[in-house]
């Protein structure tokens, strides 16, 4: 084992992360083009992450109830990490944010990232785009900043019938019912499908490089930013609508998603 690898593993130990040396199979492409010694998040498990070296990914997992925070490169408390598991692993899906009216979640090939509408705009869950705030009927549901030990706050799911969110430390933690059960938003519990399920509409998206004059409800077109690295555009009725990645993330024009700075090649200031 090289000195560089030993140094990286020593850093992991100091951060309190558990490291496994077993090779990884179908997700080895996670480390393609990623610098040696960098840790990438797992796409299917909020606690899991992968150590990258020579383009190869080695699986690891945070201890206890900690989630992996890729921005900080360490295991962190759940309420400090925005982790959304995309239920669709192919294509692009646009989903409303569980709490914020001016934000939305984009799932691209199974990887999720949070984006933010331009100031004065809010995400319209019906049209799946950012519209002027006055045009959007946004029922804002906030998690309280401080937890009440005598009351658990639940928020409904945004993608699937068995999905819901539990508020913890001001953050919405994505959770799922047991197999065969679905979330009942009225009674705040999981129940059989016949009693509760109203399927959430999904939008599949395509990768294009220009705004078509007419929208296709099953295709969403992204264009790269022109001024700064966290900027990109979503096409709507022939018009490019300016959008921004969440703080700390940058637009990856190749993969059509927001990602950490180390993984994005951007020449803009």
Q: Which position has the higher pLDDT, 140 or 154? A: 154
3-state secondary structure of 152: coil
Length of the chain counted residue by residue: 269
Give pLDDT tens digits for 172-211: 888 888 888 888 888 888 888 777 755 443 333 333 346 7
Section 42-70 average pLDDT: 89
Residue 141 has pLDDT above 70, yes or no: no
User: How high is the mean pLDDT of the chain?
Assistant: 75
Determine the average pLDDT of the residues in 210-232: 75
- pTM score of the predicted model: 0.47
What residues are paired with 179 via a beta bridge? none
10 Å Cβ neighbour count for 165?
22
36-40, 104-108, 203-207, 256-260: least confidently modelled range = 203-207
pLDDT at 86 over 60: yes
Mean pLDDT of 115-141: 80
pLDDT at 68: 92
Domain 144-205 sits in CATH at: 2.170.140
Q: Give the DSSP letter of residue 166.
A: E
Estimate to the nearest angstrom the gap between the alpha carbon of 46 and the chain centroid. 10
Q: How confident is the model at residue 20 (pLDDT cuts 50, 70, 90)?
A: very low
Could you give the residue range(s) of every CATH 2.170.140.10 domain in the chain?
A: 84-142
| Cβ neighbours for 81, distance < 8 A, ≥ 6 positions apart | 46, 67, 68, 69, 171
Confidence check: pLDDT of 17 > 80: no
Reduced to 3 states (helix: H, G, I; strand: E, B; else coil), residue 197 is coil
Homologous superfamily (CATH) of 84-142 is Chitin binding domain (2.170.140.10)
1 has a pLDDT exceeding 70: no
Q: For position 50, what pLDDT does the model report?
A: 92
The percentage of residues in the chain with a pLDDT greater than 90, rounded to a whole number, is 6
| Weakest-pLDDT range from 40-49, 69-78, 137-146 | 137-146
- Under DSSP, is residue 51 helix (H, G, I), strand (E, B) or coil? strand
168: Cα within 13 Å, side-chain hemisphere: 13
DSSP class of residue 199 equals P
CATH architecture of 207-268: Beta Complex (2.170)
Q: Give the per-residue pLDDT at 49.
A: 92
The residue-averaged pLDDT of 39-45 equals 88
At 10, the pLDDT band (50, 70, 90 cuts) reads: very low
Mean pLDDT computed over 9-35? 49
* Dist. CA 34–CA 31, nearest whole Å: 5
């Amino acid at each position: 084992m090289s000195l560089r690898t030993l140094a990286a593993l020593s850093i992991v130990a100091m951060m309190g992360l558990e490291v496994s040396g077993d090779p990884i199979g179908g997700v080895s492409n996670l480390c393609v083009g990623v610098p040696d010694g960098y840790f990438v998040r797992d796409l299917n498990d909020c606690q899991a992450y992968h150590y990258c070296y020579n383009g190869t990914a080695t699986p690891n997992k945070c201890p206890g109830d900690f989630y992996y925070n890729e921005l900080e490169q360490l295991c962190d408390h759940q309420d400090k990490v925005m982790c959304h598991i995309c239920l669709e692993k192919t294509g692009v899906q646009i989903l409303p944010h569980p709490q914020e009216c001016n934000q939305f979640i984009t799932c691209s090939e199974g990887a999720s990232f949070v984006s933010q509408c331009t100031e004065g705009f809010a995400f319209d869950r019906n049209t799946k785009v950012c519209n002027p705030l006055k045009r959007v009927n946004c029922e804002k549901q906030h998690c309280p900043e401080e937890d009440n030990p005598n009351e658990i706050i639940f928020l409904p799911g945004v993608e699937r019938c068995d999905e819901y969110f539990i508020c913890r430390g001001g953050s919405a933690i994505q959770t799922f019912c047991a197999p065969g059960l679905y979330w009942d938003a009225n009674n705040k519990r999981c129940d059989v499908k016949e009693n509760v399920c109203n399927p959430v509409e999904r939008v599949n998206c395509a990768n294009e490089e220009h705004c078509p004059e007419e929208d296709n409800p099953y295709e969403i077109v992204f264009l790269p930013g022109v001024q700064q690295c966290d900027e990109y555009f979503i096409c709507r009725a022939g018009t490019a609508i300016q959008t921004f990645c969440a703080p700390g993330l940058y637009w990856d024009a190749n993969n059509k998603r927001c990602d950490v700075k180390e993984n994005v090649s951007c020449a803009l200031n």
